[in-house]
Structure formats: C-alpha cells, structure tokens
Amino acid sequence: MSEVSTIDLNRLPEHVNQTVRIQGWVHGLRGSNARQFLSLRNSGKILQVLAEKEILGEDLFSEIKHLKQETSVEVIGKLVENEKSPIGYELILSSYKKVGESENYPITPKEHGIDFLLSQRHLWLRSSKQLAIIKVRSELSYQIRKYFHTNQFTLIDTPILTGSIGESAGTLFSTEYFDLGNAYLAQTGQLYLETAIFAHNKVYCYGPTFRAEKSKTRRHLTEFWMVEAETAFLTHAENLKLQEDFVKTVIRETVAACAPELKVLERDPSPLLDYISKPFALIDYKEALEYLQSQGEDIVWGDDINSEREQMLCQKFGGPVFIQKYPREAKAFYMKVNPEDPRTVLNADLIAPDGVGEIIGGSEREESYENITKRLEEENLPVESYEWYLELRKYGSVPHSGFGLGTERLIAWICGLQHVRECIPFPRMMERLYP
C-alpha cells in the first residue's frame, strides 16, 4: 500500500479520488445514528467529513459521534467531489486519531454578546465568519502590495517610534525614551515617507498606526493598519486619479479572489462592484457645505463634515465621493495652500457609502521651506523637532503628493460589516486592551 499523503485544505483539487490524511480541528458535528457529518477546520477552510457506521464499525463511529467542539484530530479517508459541500469536496472517513482534547469550549453555536466575543477574541477567530473576514484581510493586504509593486513603488518601512508629531498633538500615545525625553507612537509614516521620494520617486509604507482619540464610534480603532503612498512630481489632481485607480483595483481583485468568503459573510458584492464601475464624484468643501445647508443642515464654514453628512453626500452622488479643498485651519501643516483660494488647501478625503465614511485622506504637500516653517509656527509646533523634515525643502525640493488609506474601513466596506472591530485580529479600542 502506498504512503498516504498529508495535505491541507488549500490542496484539495490535486488529490481528488485519493486517500489522504488531513489534520485539523472539529468545527462542528451533526447527523444521525448511522451517519455523522464532521466539519473539519484546516487552513482557514472547513471540509465536510462523512463518517458512516457501516464503514467504521460501532465503536469507532460512537467515538466520532461524541467528539467535542475544537478537539484536534487527524483523519484519513478518500477525498471526493461533492457539490453540496461548502467547498465542493468531501472526505469519506476510514480512520481517525485524536490529537488534543477540548472540553467546555466557551463559544457555542448559540448567540453570544459582542463583549463576551471580544473577550474571547483569541478563540472567536476560529468561527466561520471570522475565518472569512481574516481571509479577506489577507487577500486585500496582498492586493495592496501587488498594486504598488506592479506600479514600481518602493516599499519604505517607516518608524513606529518617533519624536515628531504627524497629525495632532491631542491624539498621541507617548512614552519615555531613555534620556531623550518623550517618544510617540506614529500617527502616520508620511513625514518619513516624504524623505524617500528624493531617492526613489514613488514610495509607500504599510503598517500599524496609532491614534489616541477618545472615540467609541464603529469606525474608529486606536491601533489600525494604514497604507500610505508618496510620489514626487505629482499634482493634487494627479493624486486623485492615482487614489481612485488604487481603490478600484484592490477592491476588484480582492472581491474576485474572495467569492467563497463573501458568500459565508452573506455579502452580495454587486453593489460594491457597481460603485467602482463608475467615476468617483468630486466636489469642493464649499460645494458640499452649500448642498448640506440646502438640506437644512446647521453647518458653517470651518465645521467638520460628520459621518451623517458624509452619507448624505454619498446618497446625492450615488456612490463614493471625493471632497476636496477643505479650510486651511482644519488641516495639517504640511498640506499645500490652494493658490486659487488661500483659505483652503489642496487636499481631499474619499468618502465611501453604506455608512463606511472616509477611507482615504490625501493632499499635495507644501514644498516651500518658508511656507511650511510658517505653518509650523502657526500650529505652535516646535520647529526644531522638524529640522530634518524641513531640510527636504532645502535640497532639491519638488512638488509632490500623497495619501493614506485605513485598511480596516476598506475591509468593512468589502465585507459589508457594520463595525471595524471585526476587521483586525485583535482590536484595540478605548475600553479594550485584552486579549
């Protein structure tokens, strides 16, 4: 008898009608006194395993029938195609071996509250929908990197510990840094990313980002993953085109690769694909203000466009919308002032519909040493802490633009989820640091 191959669930098509060994965990069990259908989890997928008393005998069948949820096992049997199976294959069990016991697994098929599930996040990741979400996240991460690699962007790994403030001093996590005073967890990699355009022209970074915002909305995390891109000799208008192409490409490719996962999530991707089949709308902040005022909203120049108002604009335009040229005083010091209206800056936020909200923030950067120094002083930021950044404007400064996209919000949009807390393996929020 030939040796039995040990395979994982990513290699099933190669082994149809062969006897194989699969190692995994009991995800669920159902059936009758003659047949049991064991759901076996491996590699983020679930395989149906058919156990028949007639084949296995009374004793072995009884053992199978009484397996507990999350018991780890090794099964051997013939792999066959089965259209009724969730992944199109089924294993006809001939023998099995128990590897690790599982007693009183806390997450059962009954309904559980979200606080309980988040406290059991280390185990909740094994559940069907969570398996699907993490698979989508993994695929999206790959597609993001693939997009930038294909378009000749160079990856720059920017520091997480920094002495500079990138966004707002009010949302910084600080820590003592030996004898050098305070260091901060990075709010953005952008300032460091800008240094690299003078060496590589087109660059990006992708990693964790930290914001100490005291926000409990369904769109906020204190630690999230952001992809940022920066390009030399790129105008604001060109930056908008790059952002739109980037978002459409990674969504389209991720949806195409994750059809089984979206099915598990009961997410019909048709509306999403319809959104990205059309050009994204583009309006000025001033125009957005006028429309919202016409709808009875009490909003004036300089006010933030909150999430409800963002969705009103998405509904007006029937999909995603870029809102550009925000008031200068409301935006970061590094954004270039709009030469046609100095009250505003050359920036834009991309707002997604379906309650998702802002997924991208981007702008043309100020390339003038004098102008950016003046902006730092206006913001009461310590100019000496930014000397290295200001030197970029001394030695061959050029027009350049960039943007940042929050991964979790994009995952929520692709998966049709209401809260970003399920879009990252271990969410960090105001009230949660465990597990």
Q: What is the CA radius of gyration of the chain?
A: 26
| HSE of 132, CA atoms in CB hemisphere, 13 A | 20
- The angle subtended at Cα 296 by Cα 291 and Cα 302, nearest 5°, is 60
Q: What is the pLDDT of residue 9?
A: 96
> Burial level of 355, CB count in 10 A (0-12/13-18/19+)?
middle
CATH placement of domain 121-422: 3.30.930.10
Determine the Cα angle at 226 with ends 279 and 303, to 5°. 65
Tally of CB atoms within 10 A around 160? 14
Q: Which two tokens stand for residue 350?
A: 């991309």
Is the CB of residue 26 less than 8 Å from the CB of residue 51? Answer: no
Produce one character per residue of 373-384: b if its CB has 16 or more CB atoms within 10 Å, e if not: bebbeeeeeeee
Q: Where are the domains of the chain?
A: 6-100, 121-422
Q: Phi/psi zone of residue 357: left (φ > 0), alpha (ψ -120 to 50 degrees), beta? A: left
Give pLDDT tens digits along the chain (435 positions). 468 999 999 999 999 999 999 999 999 999 999 999 999 999 999 999 999 999 999 999 999 999 999 999 999 999 999 998 889 999 999 999 999 999 999 999 888 999 999 999 999 999 999 999 999 999 999 999 999 999 999 999 999 999 877 666 678 999 999 999 999 999 999 999 999 999 999 999 999 999 999 988 999 999 999 999 999 999 999 999 999 999 999 999 999 999 999 999 999 999 999 999 999 999 999 999 999 999 999 999 999 999 999 999 999 999 999 999 999 999 999 999 999 999 999 999 999 999 999 999 999 999 999 999 999 999 888 899 899 999 999 999 999 999 999 999 999 999 999 999 999 999 999 999 999
Q: Which of 234, 195, 235, 230 is nearest to 395 (CA)?
A: 195
Which ranges of 214-235 does DSSP label H, i.e. alpha helix?
none
Those residues whose C-beta lies under 8 Å from the C-beta of residue 312, and which sit 6 or more positions away, are 291, 292, 295, 297
Asked if CATH classification 2.40.160.20 holds for the domain at 6-100, the reply, yes or no, is no
Q: Do domains 6-100 and 121-422 have the same CATH topology?
A: no
Tell me the pTM.
0.96
Sign of CA dihedral 281, 287, 289, 294: negative
